[in-house]
Structure 1
Amino acid sequence: MKITPYRIKKGIKYFKHYGAKAFFNRLRDKLEPDQVPYGPWFEKYRASEEELARQRRQSRKLPCRPLISVVVPCYRTPEKYLVEMMDSVRNQSYENWQLCLMDATPSCEVEEIVQKFCESHQEKRIYYQRLKENLGISENTNAGLKAARGEWIGFLDHDDLLAPEAFYEITALINREPEVEVIYSDEDQVEETRQGLKHKKPHFKPDFSPDLLCSNNYITHFLCVKNTVLKKTGGFRKEFDGAQDYDFILRCTELAKKTGHVPRVLYHWRVHSNSTADNPLSKTYAYEAGQRALQEHLARTGRKGEVMQLPHFGFYRVKYAVEGTPLVSILIPNKDQAAVLRRCIDSIQKSSYQNYEIIIIENNSTEPEIFAYYQELLGEQPFSQDSCREGKLPGGQRVRIVVWDSGFNYSAINNFGASYADGSYLILLNNDIEIITESWIEELLGNCQRPGVGITGARLYYPDNTIQHAGIVVGIDGIAANMFPGLPRGREGYYHKAAIQLNYSAVTAACLMVSREVFEELHGLEEELTVAFNDLDFCLRAGKAGYLVVYDPFAEAYHYESKTRGAEDTEEKLRRFGDEIEFIRIRWIDLLKQGDPYYNPNFSLKKCNYALKP
């Protein structure tokens, strides 16, 4: 990394904002290697014996020390797996727990293993029950719920493992955030090798993301639910066997005051030939059950949409229905570049949704070609620099051309354009966008009409068919960055996140939709941010106001990347860019310090592809 006066100045400002510790962490991020293998990473960050001893001491001082009951349905569990599972619970640094083993094995083999284990360890916290018959995974688990005495109930498969700090981390979160009623953690997979257990395929998760949960049961393990919430659900439903956990999680998160997340690997999903982890085809029926569970979730929460399975097992697409045919106003700032604007508007005219208007905000153009194109759009009405002029597209949609004669200020230009809009929904669209998906307006609109959703953004590509935008994460490169830049179209990234709908803290204003109501509530874009980060700030303010920001990969477009603005290559532009960075740091300092809730803190703040942080 080359040291320059600009970088020195930038570093001093960063040091003042965040302090020495964050400054040196950021410097380490800048110097991190290209790829961090998970095995050594896990060994580096797993809880040490010293840390576990500290947790044992600390757990006894916690104000709230709930009993955690863990329910485990058993069926012909191999002795090695069963003993290792029980050991993983017995070795917890938090000691107030109960393990409920519900055994549907027709023989006595599991019972004898458990009895021998409890006698050898003098363990009285393990409750074993032999079930009269095997009623399936849901009913067997429900039997365990009846036996569970805990204020919190956790769930563990009979051949999986818990990290020794699992119960402590869950209890620590309960003490920090008493309103939390559902908690989940990160997880990984383990398999037997000659060298012992090998840890692989970590699943580092965001904090609660309702849209991600409707795309995939990302919560899975380790799940703990407050007993008061669990009782309201009625437990597991056997008609969803195979996806009973997905159905259960959807219902629990609907009822919980708050869903919490521990960003640590607390659960190890064992991989062997019969496990779903290793062989997804072993439970194809489960994905159909998941589809039904998700469809019922939509019905319970009052949302109209069609659930479809995606090619990757266990992943879904919810196509939300559009209510009515509201007018959508498309705002396009423009300066010169007639061919670029023509390509953009030609692509809009291929849209399957027809009730829209286009508002072009003209900003100091000088090229005769653009004025000729304006006149073509207006028809007989002559273009004027003094007032709004209107024309009609071949499909009958209105085109308005309004003039912003001040200097370039992306925020002010869009706010000005919005004042001429008649639509109940606004699309902010760069002039260098070319729409790919004919149903893009319906895609964005179906999401924006959902209660609680504030902003919806699209998946954008460079002209070479690599990703330009697939959501924005706060904190990367010091402020924020687009995810998956350069990923080839058709590739889906970490746990398919480039290709499924989920929540982010922000999306790009190169192509986003917002309702007029939300736009006005937020007072539009921040005009102090003339070029950069105005979309970031707008989305963050929407999130602070309680709205979700949705990334919808099924609305796709090419983005030719700010052609009308030029490069950030003059001293004036670099100074302005630095001032806008400073504005964001001051306004959003708490978020920048705490970290993006939709981005796991174990990920790199240097890379944009969900790479591990060293």
Structure 2
Amino acid sequence: MPLEVQYRRWRARTEPDARALRRLAAAAQSWESHISVVLLLPSAPGEQAAIRATLLSLQAQPYPWWRAAAWADPDGSGPLEDARISWTPRQPGAHWATPLLEAARPEPGEFVAVIAPGCRVTRHGLVEVAEALRAAPDCDLAYTDWDDMDGRGRRHHPHLAYGWSPELLMGRDQVGGGLVLQRAALLEAAGGWSESDAPTEVYAELLRASAHLRDPRHLPVVALSRPAGSAHEAPAPVRRRCLEAWLRARDPGARVETGREPGVTDVRFDPGSLPEVAIVIPTRDRHELLRRCLESVATSTHPRRRVVIVDNGSREPGTLAYLGRLPHVVPHPGDFNFSAIVNRGVEATETPYVVLLNNDTVVRTPGWLEAMLEWCGRPGVGAVGARLVFADGRVQHEGIGIGIGRVAANLDLGWSAARACSAVTGACMMVRREAWDAVGGFDESLPVAFNDVDFCLRLWRAGWRVVMTPLAELQHDEGSSRGSLAPEDDYRRFCLRWGAEDRLRDAFLGPHVAWPRPLTLRIPRRRDQARASRSSA
């Protein structure tokens, strides 16, 4: 089904109609305290018509607790009479931030947002945003989804933002396209929008604010419509200079490189003295696969590595002879249980970092271990996954999404940037020893399927982050060593722990994504329309 058809149906079944909007507005009237939103509208000379269109969309909101500040041209053209709108004369050569903030005077607890001229807040935008923020009292930064708008104001082509990931913020701006709201206190703590950062002052402030956040939220509400073709992020070279300046003050050893995808930047951190890494490789027979894997690992540039082979009862004479020539082989006979095998392998190591690696993988980037260590060594990161590709170069895995496919599936979002994700595959996963011990390794009651996903979700629940880096790239001949297995017992056990298939939702893809590429929307059943319209935020 074409995306535009999906989007029309999705809007019809999820966005509140006029009656539902009246109910939401009436319910908001009864709140003991209201979420106050302050909107700043910077503009260039001659953009008064675009500013007027934006302000008219605010005046049409059923949620009245907002204020706006906008620049007026010297001739005073275009002002709308509304006590909630503050007009300040444009000062030639002046930066917009200080005059507009002085006109709006936001209180520390109010939410402040910047809107580009011509963008329109959707009819339900503010009330659903306010409802979501009211349910998250510790949130000090939130951002929404957005869509495109043609010259006649017709909405089309949704853009569903990725969940909050400071790792991704350094790679590309997946936040700034929608309505980005932050408490005025956070804005002040981050130093506000500086003219010296123009034209990337909004992005630069987001970088600084990321060090002060308490509870950042992606609000899955299409709250803003942007004129089709309007850019929401600065060109990559300009954004790169801004990122480099921020890193110089925060992490002087880091450097910024051009990413493999247009508009993407890769941050490389200085890992300091490189720690020893143990590489645990489960195997059983098929020694030609293992040999190919080990030969590729031997090309790695990281010098302090130790390979541990866990043999799950090989019987082929050629394999037994080959294993007999390897220095570190741990026997683990018995029925196939991937979780038990890798647990046994990790028990045989003492290094601060361990890599779980399938024997049907081939290293394609010799610096893969350093790339994974750069992220796994960051504070709070418990596990790091790699970019896995098929033999023909097509992307197989750049993280795992929950609630897509059956219960989980490999991701290919169409762009490669380091980012947090719900899970990464155990085919190539680096784990910090401290995090491994904290959750007790893999769950041996999941012998074949979903054990890596379960492990990563338990890491998140224990307070550890899971990250994917595309700078570690390996070929993975998925299913070569054991075939494609997904037993029903593992499926049922996973769902009992984490939720039924129709209830699972990925924290980063959001609740409206049924499949990320090509984008397929999760369209509710018609009888769920009323419930969905009230809970989409």
- TM-score, structure 2 normalization: 0.91
The counterpart of 1:580, out of the listed 461, 476, 490, is 490
Q: 2:511 aligned with 1:601, yes or no?
A: yes
Partner of 2:470: 553
Query: In structure 2, which of residues 414, 422, 432 is the aligned counterpart of residue 515 of structure 1?
Result: 432
Task: Find the aligned partners of 1:260 and 1:335 in 2 and give their Cα distance.
Answer: 45
Deviation at 1:414, TM superposition (A): 0.8
1:223 and 1:162 map into 2 onto residues whose CA distance is 12
Moved more, 151-160 or 533-542: 151-160
Contact 1:217–1:314, Cα closer than 8 Å, also in 2: no
Q: Secondary structure at the match of 2:320?
A: helix
Mapping of 1:192-591 within 5 angstroms?
192=151, 196-220=152-176, 221-271=178-228, 275-276=230-231, 284=235, 287-299=236-248, 302=251, 304-310=253-259, 314-377=263-326, 390=327, 400-484=328-412, 493=414, 496=415, 499-568=416-485, 577-589=487-499
Kept after mapping to 2: 8 A contact 1:295/1:307: yes
Deviations 1:364-419 (A, max 9, x none): 11111112222343xxxxxxxxxxxx3xxxxxxxxx01111222111111111111
1:127 counterpart residue number: 86
What displacement does 1:66 show? 3.3
- 8 Å CA contact 1:483, 1:609 repeated in 2: no
Q: Separation in 2 of the partners of 1:301 and 1:582?
A: 46
> What CA deviation, in whole Å up to 9, does each residue of 1:564-587 have, x standing for no partner?
32354xxxxx7xx11111111111
Alignment of 1:98-177 (within 5 A): 98-103=67-72, 105=73, 107-108=74-75, 111-114=76-79, 117-118=80-81, 123-135=82-94, 139-150=95-106, 151-177=110-136
Q: Separation in 2 of the partners of 1:256 and 1:324?
A: 30
Aligned to 1:18: none
Q: 2:269 corresponds to which letter in structure 1? A: Y
| 1:189 and 2:145 correspond | no
Give how far 1:256 is off: 2.3
Report if aligned partners of 1:462, 1:558 keep a CA contact under 8 Å in 2: yes
Aligned to 2:8: 40
Instruction: Give the SS at the match of 1:593.
Output: coil
* Contact 1:340–1:432, Cα closer than 8 Å, also in 2: yes
Deviation at 1:168, TM superposition (A): 1.2
Secondary structure at 1:524 match in 2: coil
Determine helix, strand or coil for the equivalent of 1:597: coil
Of residues 74, 95, 120, the one that matches 2:64 is 95
Shift of 1:601: 1.4
Structure 2 Cα separation of the partners of residues 330 and 311 of structure 1? 27
Rounded Cα–Cα distance in structure 2 between residues aligned with 1:319 and 1:149: 40
- Given residue 93 of structure 1, which amino acid in structure 2 is its aligned partner? P
Cross-structure match for 1:59: 28
Distance in 1 between residues matched to 2:259 and 2:406, nearest whole Å: 35
Instruction: Quote the offset at 1:83 in angstroms.
Output: 2.3
Which deviations, in whole Å up to 9, do the C-alpha atoms of 1:303-332 show, x marking residues without a partner?
842122336554211122222121110000
The answer to which of 69-78 and 504-513 deviates more is 69-78
User: After superposition, what is the alpha-carbon deviation per residue over 1:502-542, rounded to whole angstroms, capped at 9, x for unaligned?
Assistant: 11110000001011121112211111111111101110111
1:178 aligns to what?
A: 137
User: 1:347, CA displacement in angstroms?
Assistant: 0.3
Q: 2 CA distance for matches of 1:611 and 1:551?
A: 23
CA distance in structure 2 between the aligned counterparts of 1:590 and 1:61, rounded to whole angstroms:
35
Between Structure 1 and Structure 2, how many residues are aligned?
A: 518
Return the offset for 1:46: 4.2
SS state at 2:444 partner: coil
Deviation of 1:474 after TM superposition, in Å, equals: 0.9
CA positional deviation for 1:51:
2.4
Q: Secondary structure at the match of 1:557?
A: strand
CA distance in 2, matches of 1:473, 1:527: 22
- Partner amino acid for 1:580? D
Distance 1:39 1:424, change over 3 A: closer
* Residues 172 and 376 of structure 1: CA distance in aligned 2, closer, same or farther (over 3 Å): same
Q: Is the 8 A contact 1:335 1:365 kept in 2?
A: yes
CA pair 93-198 structure 1, distance change in 2 beyond 3 A: same
Q: Is the 8 A contact 2:7 2:157 kept in 1?
A: no
- Contact 1:290-1:314 within 8 A present in 2 as well: no
Cα separation, partners in 2 of 1:408 and 1:601, compared to 1, 3 Å: same
User: What is the rounded CA distance, in whole Å, between the counterparts of 2:193 and 2:40 in structure 1?
Assistant: 12
Measured after TM superposition, the shift of residue 249 of structure 1 is 1.4
Matched, 1:50 2:35: no
Structure 2 unaligned blocks of 5 or more: 524-537
| Distance in 2, Cα, partners of 1:595 & 1:567 | 24
Instruction: Classify 1:43/1:410 alpha carbon distance in 2 versus 1 (closer, same or farther; 3 Å).
Output: closer
- Conserved? CA contact 2:41–2:51, under 8 Å: no
Is the Cα–Cα contact under 8 Å of residues 10 and 521 in structure 2 kept in the other structure? Answer: no
Q: Distance in 1 between matches of 2:482 and 2:158?
A: 41
Are the aligned partners of 1:102 and 1:141 in contact in 2 as well (CA < 8 Å)? no
Q: What TM-score, normalized by structure 1, do the two folds share? A: 0.80
Considering only aligned residues, what root-mean-square deviation do their CA atoms show, in Å?
Answer: 2.3
Q: 1:322–1:446: 8 Å Cα contact kept in structure 2?
A: yes
For residues 7 and 280 of structure 2, the distance between their equivalents in structure 1, rounded to whole angstroms, comes to: 49
> 1:323–1:449: 8 Å Cα contact kept in structure 2?
no
Distance 1:255 1:590 in 2: 36
Measure the CA separation in 1 of the matches of 2:400 and 2:409.
5
Conserved in 2, the CA contact under 8 Å of 1:185 and 1:265?
Answer: yes
Equivalent pair of 1:460/1:470 in contact (CA under 8 Å): yes
Contact 1:364 1:404 in 2 (8 A): yes
Conserved 8 A contact 1:440-1:556: yes
1:446 CA displacement: 0.7
Bigger helix share:
1
Aligned to 2:527: none
1:612 is the counterpart of 2:521: yes
User: How far did 1:170 drift?
Assistant: 2.3
CA contact (8 A) 2:7 2:158 kept: no
> Cα gap change, 1:566/1:590 in structure 2, threshold over 3 Å: closer, same or farther?
closer
Q: Judging changes above 3 Å, is the alpha-carbon distance between structure 1 residues 438 and 452 closer, same or farther for their aligned structure 2 residues?
A: same
Amino acid at match of 2:190: T
Letter of the structure 2 residue corresponding to residue 601 of structure 1? P
| Pair 300,37 (structure 1): closer, same or farther in 2 beyond 3 Å | farther
The answer on whether the counterparts of 2:191 and 2:205 sit within 8 Å (CA) in structure 1 is no
Give the Cα–Cα distance (whole angstroms) in 1 for the partners of residues 11 and 489 of structure 2. Answer: 42
CA distance in 2, matches of 1:554, 1:169: 38
How do 1:9-48 residues align onto structure 2 when only pairs under 5 Å count?
33=1, 37=5, 40-41=8-9, 43-44=11-12, 45-48=14-17
* CA deviation profile, 1:547-579 (whole Å, cap 9, x unmatched): 1111111211111113232354xxxxx7xx111
CA 1:160–1:80: 2 relative to 1, 3 Å: same
Deviation of 1:208 (Å): 1.4
Determine if contact 1:463/1:560 at 8 Å carries over to the other structure: yes
